[in-house]
Structure 1
Amino acid sequence: MKLYADTPVRAVLQLVSDLFALVWVCAWVYAALTLREAVLTLNRPGELMASTGAGFTEHMGTAAENVRQVPFAGDALATPFDNLSDTGATMSQAGESFQETVGTLAVTLPLLVVAIPLYLVAATWLPMRVRWIRRATGTRRLDRLAPDAQARLLALRALSSASTSRLLEVHADPAGAWRANDPATVAGLADLELRRLGLRPRPARSAT
């Protein structure tokens, strides 16, 4: 697999773009994780509410059980404590609900923060790099062919991908010259394709 160009300038630019993409992704992932930790710190009030409510419910329940033992008026005396016990349960449920909300935000917000930057990388840098790697790797595999066949295939690629102005710099009728197998035009188009990819020609080997 061919990852970087042969020409120094093109290779340096590719390396810089790869490093920038890596730093970009790592920075946003770090930001998302930092945001998650910050959101999770909001769990503390919910934990206190749940703990306080549970403790209050337990104490009021115990008090209600104790006053129920009072002869004749036990049930009447226990009613306020039962009501307070229900209030504690409500507080405990509110604390648990608050913690669930914080947990949801701790997942959702970091995902939203990191999704757009990752999408930008996946929609811009990644397709260009994959396309170049595929083309460069395919071009290097042509080195196994005979020189004439390699040059004609590279020239054909240039005809299908290079700009019109670049093609006209090689020949006034590049397609016609290629069909006629004009050696100078084929060589010029092949060289154009290699330069477009930032590759250098290599000695071709005959297929065995």
Structure 2
Amino acid sequence: MKLYADTPVRACLQLVCDLAALVWAFVWIHAALALRETLLSLNRPGELMSSTGAGLTEHMDTAAENVRQVPLAGEALAAPFTGLSGTGESLSAAGDSFQDSVGTLALTLPLLVAALPLFLLAATWLPARARWIVRATGTVRLRALAPEARTRLLALRALSGAPAAGLAAVHEDPAGAWQENDRTVVAELAALELRRLGLRPKARNGRPVFTRRG
């Protein structure tokens, strides 16, 4: 797999862009995790409410059971304690509900904070980077072909993807020249494709594979 160009300037730009993408992803993921920790810290009031309500319910139930043992007036005396027990249950339920709300917020909000920037990265940098890697890897693998076949395939790739201005600079009718197998034009088109990708032709005995005829 070809990850970076052969030419120093193109390779340096690719490396800088990759590092910038990694830093961008790290910053937003770190921000999302920090936000999650901050939101989870808000759980403390809910925990206190739940524990206080549970403690109140337990103590009031115990008190109600004790006063019920009083002859004749036991049930009447237990009524206030039973009411306070219900208040404790309500307080505990409110605390649990508060914790659930904080937990939901601590999950969804950090996801949104991280997902939007990462989606932007995946929609811009990643497709362009993946296309280059696929195209450059395929181009490098063409080196296993015979020189003439490799040159024609590279020239065909240039015809299908190179800017019109670049093709016009090679020949006024580059497609026709390719069909007629004009070796000079085909070699220049192949060289154009390599330049577009920032790749260098495979050298043989110190000489480049694609040469132009004078």
Per the TM superposition, whether the score is higher than 0.5 is yes
Q: Quick one: which amino acid aligns to residue 159 of structure 1? A: L
> Shift of the alpha carbon at 1:196?
0.3
1:164 aligns with 2:164: yes
Output aligned runs, 1:28-177, within 5 Å. 28-177=28-177
Aligned equivalents of 2:84, 2:54: Cα separation in 1? 12
Per-residue deviation, 1:147: 1.1
Distance in 2, matches of 1:66 and 1:177, equals 105
Note the C-alpha offset of 1:145. 1.0
8 Å Cα contact 1:60-1:81 kept in structure 2: yes
- The residue aligned with 1:12 is 12
Residues 61-105 of structure 1 deviation map (CA, whole Å, 9 limit, x = unaligned)? 111111111111010110111011000011001101111111111
Instruction: Quote the Cα distance in structure 1 between the aligned partners of 2:65 and 2:142.
Output: 89
Unaligned stretches of 5+ residues in structure 1 = none
CA distance in 2, matches of 1:74, 1:146: 104
| C-alpha RMSD of the superposition | 0.8
Amino acid of the structure 2 residue aligned with 1:30:
H
By how many angstroms is 1:117 displaced?
A: 0.6
Deviations 1:19-63 (A, max 9, x none): 000010011000000000000000000000000001111111111
Alpha-carbon distance, 1:6 to partner: 0.2
What amino acid is the match of 1:196? R
Query: Runs of 5+ in structure 2 lacking a partner?
Result: 205-214
C-alpha distance in 1 between matches for 2:98 and 2:28: 27
Taking only the aligned residue pairs, the percentage that are identical comes to: 71
| 2-structure distance, mates of 1:65, 1:153 | 92
Partner Cα distance (1:203, 1:153) in 2: 18
Q: Give, in angstroms, the shift of residue 2 of structure 1.
A: 0.2
Q: Distance in 2 between matches of 1:164 and 1:96?
A: 66
Q: 1:150 Cα shift? A: 0.7
CA deviation string 1:137-160 (max 9, x = no partner): 000011011111111000000000
Deviation at 1:203, TM superposition (A): 3.7
CA contact (8 A) 1:68 1:77 kept: yes
CA drift at 1:198: 0.2
1:2 is matched with 2
Q: Distance in 2 between matches of 1:199 and 1:65?
A: 87
Q: Structure 1: how far apart are the matches of 2:163 and 2:116?
A: 33
Note if contact 1:143-1:203 (Cα within 8 Å) is conserved in structure 2: no
Kept in 2: contact 1:32–1:114 (CA 8 A): yes
Once residues 122 and 192 of structure 1 are traced to their aligned partners in structure 2, the CA distance between those partners, rounded to angstroms, is 29
What TM-score results when the alignment is normalised by the length of structure 2? 0.94
Match of 1:198? 198
TM-score by length of 1: 0.97
